[in-house]
Amino acid sequence: MEPAIGFELGPTVGLLQEGAIMRVGSSMTEVVGGTPIVQLRKVVPADAADVFVKLEWFNPTGSYKDRMALAMIEEAERRGDLRPGMSVLEYTAGSTGSSLAYVCAAKGYHFMVVTSDAFAAEKLATMAALGADLTIVPSVDGKITPDLTPRMIETARELASDPDVYWTDQLNNADSLVGYHEVGVELLEQLEQPIDVFCCAVGTAGMATGVKNALEEGGSAARVVIFEPDSSPVITTGEAGVNSVEGIGIGLMPPLLDLDRFDEARAISEAEAFAMARRLAAEEGLLAGGSSGLNVVGAIELARELGPGHTVVTVACDTGLKYLAGGLYTR
């Protein structure tokens, strides 16, 4: 997907210029991607590298997961694995489910989702509004415990025994890389200066891997650094824990993650991530979720190490509007 028409990439990277017009799509599935980039000005120290954030909430459901959902559905259609009249199934914390619900609604598929009361009520409501049938796996005190994702997967596996059900199985589905590859392509087109580091938090590892592929193919020498919450540092220490940052820190090693391909993995403070989400809203006017806050904390850490004259790029995964009822902005 090409960057949106009307995004002129100069001193005001990613900002709509006067008279600019967004592209026109013939279907809701045609307006995924082409998201803008902004440079953070207030939360980044003066002695640090430039930090840019790609605003993925410009996608239809306010999340970068729209890219993954569309790719998984269209690649399955292309192979003939998903056909008219079939149902689509997935387990999800809510953003992937909202994205799949939107794509399925636009394409006419029935969507079944396995989720949990550990996740934002706004996400559950969004999936229901888009026509999804929800199966709720109960959590322990609303926490994302190490056993929650495996229990959700097992519930999905039982539902997937129906031959008329296509299970997207996001943790094991390499089709997601097709969608996330476009993020890297867009970054190379949008930014005039070389990217020194791209960094992002890991859930399925689809975003990190897809962008890594695109940067390599585009001839970029950028380092790619991955993050996880320090409350569940499976990648960095092998220890799973109770995590409150939705969409990442899933309590197991993502099957799509090939650690040898990445330059570094870091555990980032969950408390600092939530505090940064609030700072981004209050100081930059950037309303995003906890995983976006975590990305920015890690990006600033890298920017301090690199110093001025360098460029660090990360992603605002989704809109903070998904978390207003959960207390993220009132702590």
Q: What CATH number did the domain enclosing 297 receive?
A: 3.40.50.1100
Residues 118 and 224 in one domain: no
Please give the residue range of the domain that contains residue 302.
28-60+177-324
Question: Looking at the domain assignment, is residue 19 inside a domain?
Answer: no
Distance of alpha carbon 75 from the chain centroid:
19
266, amino acid identity: R
Question: How deeply is 164 buried, as exposed, middle or buried, from its count of CB atoms within 10 A (0-12, 13-18, 19+)?
Answer: exposed
Among the residue ranges 90-94, 157-161, 256-260, the one predicted with the least confidence is 90-94
CA distance 36 to 14: 4
Does residue 9 lie within any of the structural domains? no
Q: Are residues 210 and 304 in the same domain?
A: yes
- In angstroms, the CA 240 to CA 250 distance is 8
Tally the domains of the chain: 2
Q: Are 27 and 287 in contact (CB under 8 A)?
A: no
292 by Cβ neighbours in 10 Å (0-12 / 13-18 / 19+) ranks as: buried
- Bigger pLDDT: 316 vs 5: 316
* 212 labelled catalytic: no
Region 150-166: mean pLDDT is 95
Same domain, 159 and 183: no
Task: Assign 15 a pLDDT band (cuts: 50, 70, 90).
Answer: very low
Same-domain status, 194 and 268? yes
- Domain co-membership, 192 together with 309: yes
The verdict on residue 4 lying in a domain is no
Residue 70 lies in a domain: yes
**212 occurs within a structural domain:** yes
Residue 156 shares a structural domain with residue 233: no
The yes-or-no answer on residue 65 being catalytic is yes
Distance CA(236)–CA(26), nearest Å, equals: 45
- In sequence order, what are the beta bridge partners of 90? 113
CA-CA distances (angstroms) from residue 275 to 122, 237, 296? 21, 24, 11
Q: Mean pLDDT throughout 280-295?
A: 97
Q: Are residues 188 and 168 in the same domain?
A: no
Q: Is residue 152 part of a domain?
A: yes
Tell me: do 54 and 98 sit in the same domain: no
Residue 17 lies inside a defined structural domain of this protein: no
Mark whether 196 and 310 lie in a shared domain. yes
Domain annotation covers residue 329? no
Same domain, 51 and 193: yes
pLDDT band (50, 70, 90) for residue 249: confident
Q: How far is CA 289 from the centre of its chain?
A: 10
Q: Average pLDDT of 315-327? A: 91
- Angle between helix axes 95-107 and 65-79 (nearest 10 degrees) is 50
Q: Could you say which of 172, 197, 228 is where a domain stops?
A: 172
In this predicted structure, the answer to whether residue 130 has a pLDDT above a threshold of 90 is yes
The pLDDT assigned to 177 comes to 97
Provide the 8-state DSSP code for 48: S
Confidence of residue 244 (pLDDT cuts 50, 70, 90): confident
Does the pLDDT of residue 5 top 60, yes or no? no
Q: Which of 65, 107, 123, 212 is catalytic?
A: 65
Q: What is the mean pLDDT of residues 160-184?
A: 96
Among candidate residues 140, 172, 204, the one where a domain is terminated = 172
Q: Which of 172, 192, 210 is the last residue of a domain?
A: 172
Residue 168 shares a structural domain with residue 84 = yes
Answer yes or no: do 71 and 182 share one domain: no
Catalytic residue among 244, 291, 292, 322: 291
